[in-house]
Each structure stands twice: as structure tokens, then as C-alpha cells.
Amino acid sequence: MNWLKKDPGSIRSAPGLEWQIWRRLPAILAWGTALPGLWLAASWWASAGSPDLPHDPSSLRTEFILVGVIVLHWTLVLTLAIGCAIVLLMKGPRYEADPYPLPDADRPLD
């Protein structure tokens, strides 16, 4: 069963901003994770004195904020990727669905 059957009369729309964003998403994800991640690693390294001593509350707050920034960035990139995928599918060729005869059609089935 070929469930991705293209309509022979369909055309593709011209690519736009969605392809530029789609191609840059891996770099956006990598840089947006690496920069706060490096800052987070530096904060952990700076506050890793003795394991018996409690952490400074301001450094803990900074670490929690940086983890939140990283997770927020991932969700924003995922949302952007979903939006790009939707636009790519909408601009792509049209697909035909399998015929489905309705039982309550206006005319009877032959």
C-alpha cells in the first residue's frame, strides 16, 4: 500500500524562509546549547570546592537559570522545527488519499 501517492497534477510552491531556517536549525540548536552549557560548566567548576560544603545560593540560582535557559531553547527550537515541517508539507506536492466509500452517500454503491 502506497500511502504517499502524489497527485499527478500538483505543483510545488517556491521555497521560502522555511528552508533557510530548516537548514540552520542544527547549528542553532548546537550553539544555543553549547554557550549556556559552557557557562554552566564554568559555574559548576568554580563552585566545586569541597563536597562537604554547601553551594553558594547565588551560584545555585545561576545554575538553575542556565539549565532553564537550555531547556527553553530546546523547546523553542523544537517548536520552530515543527512549524517549518508544517510549512514544508503545505508547500510540497499534493497527495491523494485512499478512496473511502461513505455508507450514507447520496447515490448507492454500484
Asked if pLDDT for residue 109 goes beyond 60, the answer is no
Which three-class secondary structure state does DSSP give residue 47? Answer: coil
Residues 6+ apart with CB under 8 A from 63: 40, 43, 44, 47
What are 11-30's pLDDT values in tens digits? 888 888 999 999 999 999 99
CA atoms within 13 A on the CB side of 67: 8
Distances 109 to 74, 96, 98, 99, 103 between C-alpha atoms, Å: 52, 21, 17, 13, 8
Residue 82: pLDDT band with limits 50, 70, 90: very high
pTM of the model: 0.73
Q: What is the mean pLDDT of the chain?
A: 84
Residue 27's identity, in one-letter code, is: A
Residue 105 above 90 pLDDT? no
CB 93 within 8 A of CB 6: yes
Q: What is the mean pLDDT of residues 36-60?
A: 77
pLDDT value at position 3? 66
Q: How far apart are CA 42 and CA 48, in angstroms?
A: 10
More confident: 50 or 70: 70
**For 52-71, how does the pLDDT look when each residue is reduced to its tens digit (9 = 90+)?**
556 678 888 888 999 999 99
